[in-house]
Every structure is written in structure tokens, then in C-alpha cells.
Amino acid sequence: MTNTITRRTAILGTAGALLLSGLVRSFADVPKTLKLAVILQDLPDVGWDRTLLDALEQLKQERPEGLEIAWEHTDPLYGDDAENAMRFYAESGEYDIIWGHGTYSDQVQKLSVEFPDLMFVVTGSGNHPAGPNQYWIYKRLHEPSYLLGMLAGHTTKTGMVGIVGTFPANDVNDQINAFFEGAKSIRPDIQHRLSFIGSWSDNALAAEHANVQIAAGADVVFMLTDNFKPCQEHKIMCFANINDQSKVAPDAIASSAIISWKPDLNWIIGEWLKHKAGAQFNGNAEPKWFSMAEGGTDIAPYHDFDGKIPQAVKGEISAKRQEILSGKFVVPLNTAEVK
């Protein structure tokens, strides 16, 4: 008996072998681990940084796409020190994503061409496009700020609400406008006091501005800075932003406009997996942000204020939140500077 290989068998055999080898290769190429190097602009306990590290911790437990997630983070770095740190991580070859958690496009621009297979992420304002392997994430807190504005409108007795801001930046103005809009939706005659302290972190100055606003009649204050002593001393309701800061001043902070980095991280992981599967990097030139409906932001629980806020008010805010989530109500995104 002679062994003859027919043409059909040969074709089927070759196709099968190719398919099998492709399958084996694709299984072998599916990444099992993801390692990030995170460059921080502030200390890890500052809200902007803490929320990212918390989200990474959650994702580590959840293992999206079966990935084992690990990361290293620095203490505050900027300028050429940040660039050196990024280069150190890039050259080590141990990291898949270099995440500059702040304004780092200048540094990424100097490295992105040299390390074209490495993914860079930058966050927040002040960044700019820096090549296809830089992804730019933004945060918009106008939706939860609107809801806090509604609570402020219901709570104020003097008819005046205050905001102590950092800088009139694009991603600060959106919160301020939405907060006032929310308050006006409840009380159209609402008055406001607004001041910018000209710093991201001068808490003593923030307290001085808050005291001035309270003395001028504001009895609900949205603190975009981290000092709630004036609220406690004057026994008024205040709000925080970025993370749930109720524990800092449970007797003063009724709620907070909070951010979550989980949708951002999931998006980045998805883009990174696409690249690992063979696609080109496709970094965004316009900043990308995730809405409340997408899980990017929310309002924090009322904690100690739960029993103090009337049920009807809570119900109204909850209903508006649902409308925002369903898309029935769209909070206007207004980044104009409020005077």
C-alpha cells in the first residue's frame, strides 16, 4: 500500500497547521500581567493621587481580562526629575505603561519616540498631544457638582452659597458653574461668593478665604481645597471634591463630588491589550473623560448628614441623579470663568 497525499488533504493539513500555530501563538501572546510605573505630582494621600491608587488596588482584586496588575509609584516629581524617573522605568523594560499622574506631556514628548512600544498616560489639565503612544485622560466633575449645588440651594438660609477654588482652570470652572446652576435650579435668587486662592494646596489661605465668605453671609460652602476647619467652627454645611472626605470633618462635610479612575484604567487597559494584539497605538489628541453614567464621577454618601437632610431633598437629588445617569437630563458643561 502506498501512502498518497491528495491535494485536498495537503490543503486541509496546511490550513490546520497554520490555524493551530496561530492559535497557539495568540494564546501565548495574551498578556497575563500588566505593570505600571506611576509618577505622582503630589503625595499619595492627596485626593487626586489617592483615588488612582485606590482604583488600582480595586482592579488588582478584580483582575480585568485575567490580568495580574502591579505598579510602582513615586513621591512627587516634576520637570527633568520626572523625565529621569520615566526614563529609568522605560529603560528597565519591566513596565508596560508609564502613567504620569498630572502635567507630564513635556516629559513624555521627549521619550515617546524613543520608546514607541511603551504606552504613556498623562492626566488632567496642561497636557498636550505627544505622539500616538501618549493617552490623555481628563476629569470632569460638573455632574456631581450640580447635585451638590441642589443640596446647597435647599440648605442655605441666607440665600448665599460660597466656593473656595484653587485656580480658574478649565477643569475647575466646570465644577463652579455647575454648582451654581444646581443651586439656582432650586432657588433662582441665589447669591454667590467665589474666590480663588491661587494655589493647589495652600490650606491656610483656603481657610482665610472661607472665613471671609462665611462672614459675608455664605452659609453653605463648596471647598475645592482641603481645609474644613472654618466649616466646623461656624457649624455650616460644606462639600468636598475629588474623594469622599467625610472622615476629615464628619460634622461639616455633607457630601463630596468624587472621581473614580476605574473607567479610565479599564479604557487604558483595553487600548494596551489592542496594542499587544498587534494594533498600532492610537493616543488621543483631545482629552478623554468619563461621565457619571460611565462611572467616572459620582456624589459621596451623606454619612453623618443622612439623618439631617430632609427625605424630600434626598429624594429630589436622587431622582436628578437618575436622570443624569439615564441621559434624560444633561448638566451643561460650562468652562467659562465665573466672575
Partner 1 sequence: MISFQRRSGSSLGWNVVCYSAAISGALLASAVLLRLSGGDPARAFTALIVGAFGSQGALLGSLAKATPLLLVGLGTVFAFRAKIWNIGQEGQVFAGAMAAYWVSFWIAPLPGWLAVCTLALAGMAGGGVLGLLAGALKTRFGTSEIISTVMLNYVVMYLLAYLLDGGPWMATGVTVSYHQSPPIDPSLEWPILLAVGAGKLHVGFLFALAASAFAAVLLDKTSLGYEIRAFGSNPTALTFRGTNVRRLLLTVMLMSGALAGLAGAGELFGVSHRLRAETLLGIGSSGIVVAMVGGLRPSGVMIAALFFGALESGTIYMRLKSGTPAGLVSAMEGLVLLFFLSAAVATRLQIVRREVHA
Residue 245 binds partner 1 (CB under 8 A) = no
Stretch of residues binding partner 1 (CB under 8 A), selected from 73-81, 209-217, 247-255, 299-307: 73-81
Q: Please, which residues have CB within 8 angstroms of residue 247's CB and are 6 or more apart in sequence? A: none
Residue 116 binds partner 1 (CB under 8 A) = no
DSSP letter string, 114-151: TSTTSEEEEESTT-----TTEEEE----HHHHHHHHHH
Residue 247 · residue 188 · CB < 8 Å = no
Nearer to partner 1, 85 or 265 (CB): 85
Using CB under 8 A as the binding criterion, the count of chain residues that bind partner 1 stands at: 32
Q: Please state the closest distance from residue 127 (CB atom) to partner 1, in A.
A: 7
Nearer to partner 1, 190 or 197 (CB): 197
Q: Please, which residues have CB within 8 angstroms of residue 264's CB and are 6 or more apart in sequence? A: 55, 123, 137, 288, 290, 296
Residue 254 · residue 317 · CB < 8 Å = no
Stretch of residues binding partner 1 (CB under 8 A), selected from 69-77, 202-210, 245-253, 267-275: 69-77
Residue 125 binds partner 1 (CB under 8 A) = yes
- Among 62, 65, 75, 323, the residue binding partner 1 under the rule CB under 8 A is 75
Nearer to partner 1, 124 or 149 (CB): 124
Nearer to partner 1, 83 or 96 (CB): 83
- Residue closest to 256 by CA, chosen among 226, 309, 298: 298
Binding to partner 1 (CB under 8 A): which residues in 275-304? 286-287
Q: Please state the closest distance from residue 13 (CB atom) to partner 1, in A.
A: 51
Distance (Å, rounded) from C-alpha 25 to C-alpha 214?
66
- Residue closest to 230 by CA, chosen among 208, 246, 251, 248: 208
Residues pairing with 34 in the sheet: 69
Nearer to partner 1, 42 or 304 (CB): 42
Q: Please state the closest distance from residue 103 (CB atom) to partner 1, in A.
A: 5
- Among 158, 170, 191, 334, the residue binding partner 1 under the rule CB under 8 A is 170
Nearer to partner 1, 18 or 285 (CB): 285
Binding map of partner 1 across residues 189-218, x = CB under 8 A, - = no contact = ---------x--------------------
- Among 55, 67, 77, 258, the residue binding partner 1 under the rule CB under 8 A is 77
Residues pairing with 237 in the sheet: 220
Q: Please state the closest distance from residue 75 (CB atom) to partner 1, in A.
A: 5
Residue 248 binds partner 1 (CB under 8 A) = no
Distance (Å, rounded) from C-alpha 112 to C-alpha 96?
13
Q: Please, which residues have CB within 8 angstroms of residue 82's CB and are 6 or more apart in sequence? A: 39, 100, 104, 107
Can you read off the three cell numbers belonging to residue 26?
A: 495568540
Residue 90 · residue 110 · CB < 8 Å = no
Q: Please, which residues have CB within 8 angstroms of residue 129's CB and are 6 or more apart in sequence? A: 105, 136, 283, 284, 285
Residue 131 binds partner 1 (CB under 8 A) = no
The span from the first CA to the last CA of the chain, in angstroms, equals: 96
Residue 127 binds partner 1 (CB under 8 A) = yes
Stretch of residues binding partner 1 (CB under 8 A), selected from 54-62, 139-147, 164-172, 267-275: 164-172
DSSP letter string, 91-109: HHT--SEEEEESS-HHHHH
Residues pairing with 48 in the sheet: none
Nearer to partner 1, 105 or 266 (CB): 105
The single residue listed with the C-alpha cell 444646581 is 182
Residue ranges binding partner 1 (CB under 8 A): 72, 74-81, 83-85, 87-89, 91, 103, 106, 124-128, 138, 167-171, 198, 286-287
